[in-house]
Amino acid sequence: MISRRTLLAAAAGATLPLAAPGVLRAQARDLRLGIITPPGHPWNNAALKVAEVLKEKTGGKLTMTVFHAGQLGNEGAMMQQLQTGALDMAFLQAAEVGNRVPNVAAILAPYVIRSTEAAAKLVRQPIAMQMLEPLPKETGTLGLGWGITSIRVVFSAKEIDGIAGLNGMKLRINTTPAFRDFYSLLGAAPTPIPTPQVYDAMANGQVDGLEADLDFSWNQRFDKVSKVLMRMDAVFMPFIALASGKAWQTLSAEDRALITAATKEALAVQVDQTVTNAPKLLKDFEGTGIKIVVPPTADAAPIIAEYDKIWAPKAPILPELRKIGATLG
């Protein structure tokens, strides 16, 4: 396994011992980036921006092809391709990386942040990059930075007035254990449904509710199959821009620096745009006439205590993450 020191040195532009020195950019090279979201999604736009900058800065010698909508497989498959060097880069959800590195999953804990604005601030804190330091050793990848989604909301097909309404609800969730444990503590029955089938599952009563970020929810128009939108202000799903450790070593220091800078710039724009768009999306939902419920903040305290009994031993960074999150508004 590639060591963290080796990859971090590469990120800083140091010269690496290469198995084949001739692979450094002497001719045109097309990088491959995988992503599960469809064309037009904010994450995809960020990936395409990286590709645009690389082509412009190198006069077309270094380009990037973005494989949208899981064309290369699901996130687990893309992680494996990163590890073998078959894939150069990927934008993967923190859930996928957190399955392998529990400290990364800590960012998914409920009530670490309470708003999209706070989520944006959190991924820009030094602790966010600190959480990615074990990736070279644990996954053979290098974390170049974070992107975000808006804070997630819950849609319900039945009338609910607060968190208690989730008790007994068949709730479609992201399958990550971090979310599963949270919603289980609330009494819900977490139900995994493939993303393309979520709308129909709500429409035909296969599930009573679902949780998702605002962008995806508006694109899918979940308000049309729901009576209530509950603003949990509890969890969000960031993503990580990952580079393959094996592929990284075949790049020159100049190219590594260029890719890192282009990625960080594109992610910064994506984060800012997500913050700007979140209130607009909420207004769009308000305009549909759907009932919007905002549970009292005090309801969160018992859940935080129970959740941390489960997750603090697995993700020791969680208490520090909570302290920092509490300062972000």
pLDDT at 155: 98
Handedness of CA 39, 41, 43, 47 (dihedral sign): positive
CA–CA separation, 1 vs 185, rounded Å? 37
Tokens representing residue 168 in the block: 């007994």
Main-chain phi, psi angles of 207, to 5 degrees: -130, 160
Q: Tokens 């400290």 appear where?
A: 103
pLDDT at 115: 97
Exposure b/e, 197-216, CB count within 10 A at least 16 = b: ebbebbeeeebbbbbbbbbb
23 or 241, which is more confident = 241
pLDDT at 166: 97
> In sequence order, which residues have a C-beta less than 8 Å from that of residue 269 and are 6 or more positions away?
46, 49
CA–CA separation, 318 vs 242, rounded Å? 22
What's the mean pLDDT in 77-97?
Answer: 98
Exposure b/e, 281-319, CB count within 10 A at least 16 = b: bbeebeeeebeebebeeeebeebbeebbebbeeebebbe
CA–CA separation, 141 vs 242, rounded Å? 6
Domains and CATH numbers, the chain: 4-101+115-148+238-278 (3.40.190.170), 152-235+280-325 (3.40.190.170)
pLDDT at 23: 43
| Tens digit of each residue's pLDDT (9 = 90 or more) over 233-277 | 999 999 999 999 999 999 999 999 999 999 999 999 999 999 999
The fraction of the chain above a pLDDT of 70, given in percent, is 92
Which contiguous run of DSSP H or E holds residue 276?
Answer: helix 253-288
pLDDT at 16: 34
